[in-house]
Structure 1
Amino acid sequence: MKFIAFQQAFRNSGVIELHEVQKAFPNFHVRRLSNWQEKDYIQKIINRFYRWTDQPVTEQLAFYTANRIYRDSYISLWSALSYYGLIPEGVYQTYSVSTHKTKSFETPIGEMIYKHIKPALFFGYRIERWENKPILMAEPEKAILDTLYLNPHWRDAADIDGLRLNWPVLVDIAQAAIIEEYAAFYNNQRVTDLSHYIIQQMTNA
């Protein structure tokens, strides 16, 4: 198989998956991927997933890649909070939640970290677009609640204050009623109590 045919078929793919290559070209030989890596045409992300080496590494590429390499996941936690401008710190890993087991991958475009949530909590995300490709991103309300839930050592107002949330931005992009509605699904008194504190702070902001 010639590289030009491969390039034409997958040039617009942010992530190239071996399964899709083999589906498009049934007689494809995997050794071609090694040859093209040696020529610096493509780069392995993890096993079975590749990217174009001339594609700029951006936050959007990292988010899209995170969705692709670990299915049934969406961007949340620190990555979503930073994306929405809700925390002051930069985030150098890509954080997601998933119905699969907690896992992390070291990749050439950064570390991908996935935290397990039960299937009943897999909701509250929206589709953002990057080069007409879908990125599953937690809604701001859900990103906050996922963060509360997956940090069980957070117990009181001081822990929330330590987040240094940008309250004016939160009030602008999130709804207290949705936080309260979503919090009930966690069936966790600690999350409920902390979410009530957040709602109170939003009211006072």
Structure 2
Amino acid sequence: MEINRIIGSHADQLLPHQLLMSWLKGYKRPNDKILGLKAQGILEPLKKGLYIAGPSISETKPDTFLIANHLLGPSYVSVETALSFYGLIPERVYETASMTTKAPRSFKTAVGRFTYTRLPLPYYSFGLNMLQLPSNQYAIVASREKALCDKIVTTSGLILRSVRNAYDYLVDDMRIDESALKELDTNAIQEWLPDAPKRDSLGMVVKMIEQL
């Protein structure tokens, strides 16, 4: 069928309900057709109104960073997910973690678990990069520095009271290499401090890095 071919040719993209409706404009009951495509595994729902190509039509999936940006907006990929992507931490990450200005949320989908943690403005908007994906689409991802700051800011009960505390947490607990820390832009972090949660802890991170 034509619609199956179209969906398969867009397997690396997100498929919002409005797009599907434009493809199905020749059907008298397009919503019923969408339900049928879901039942056949041709469409896979991520949340209400957002789909990807299902397993019976293609094994190709959109990039998880792209999915993360669109499951809940505004949002950007950060903390362990971004730190692992940049190679700053050795652990493999099994969920895609993002920051948002909205209430915390989580989504369990066919392509994995996505979590969202709330951050206040204007701190939320600092240190964001537009990352080009292999599909030539783009996703918003925290910079190395912002992902590290977000990790400290959002870790409950974590307070870095000294340079030694900062070193122990980043090098011993998170296992970030000293050489990688030296490459971080501490000037950028300092610019964020007046509007940042846990500014004293982040200030200790800056001091520690500058002493390496």
- Common fold by TM > 0.5: yes
Q: Against the structure 1 CA distance between its residues 153 and 6, is the aligned structure 2 distance closer, same or farther, given a 3 Å change threshold?
A: same
**Residue 14 of structure 2 corresponds to residue 11 of structure 1:** no
**Matching residue of 2:143:** 139
Asked if the contact 2:193–2:199 (Cα under 8 Å) also holds between the matched residues in 1, the reply is yes
Asked if the contact 1:142–1:182 (Cα under 8 Å) also holds between the matched residues in 2, the reply is no
Q: Against the structure 1 CA distance between its residues 108 and 12, is the aligned structure 2 distance closer, same or farther, given a 3 Å change threshold?
A: closer
Asked if the contact 2:3–2:23 (Cα under 8 Å) also holds between the matched residues in 1, the reply is no
Partner-residue secondary structure (3-state), 1:30:
helix
Q: Tell me the amino acid that sits aligned with residue 81 of structure 1.
A: L
User: Which of 175, 178, 181 is the equivalent residue of 1:167?
Assistant: 178
**Identity of paired residues, percent?**
20
TM-score for the superposition, normalised by structure 2: 0.82
**Matching residue of 1:107:** 109
- Deviation, structure 1 residue 147: 1.4
**Residue 80 of structure 2 corresponds to residue 78 of structure 1:** yes
**Matching residue of 1:87:** 89
Stretches of structure 1 lacking an aligned partner (at least 5 in a row):
none
Give distance in 2, aligned partners of 1:195 and 1:133.
33
Give distance in 2, aligned partners of 1:88 and 1:184.
31
Partner-residue secondary structure (3-state), 2:99:
strand
Residue-pair matches, total:
198
Q: Tell me the amino acid that sits aligned with residue 203 of structure 2.
A: H
Stretches of structure 2 lacking an aligned partner (at least 5 in a row):
none
> Within 5 A, what are the aligned runs for 1:8-157?
11=10, 14-22=13-21, 29-52=30-53, 53=55, 54-57=58-61, 61-123=63-125, 124-130=127-133, 131-156=135-160, 157=165
* 1:44-67 Cα shifts (integer Å, max 9, x gaps): 22222111232435xx71111010
Give distance in 2, aligned partners of 1:69 and 1:90.
22
Asked if the contact 1:125–1:136 (Cα under 8 Å) also holds between the matched residues in 2, the reply is yes
Give distance in 1, aligned partners of 2:19 and 2:47.
15
* 1:1-60 Cα shifts (integer Å, max 9, x gaps): 95157438x726511111333356556612222222333322122222111232435xx7
Give distance in 1, aligned partners of 2:36 and 2:199.
54
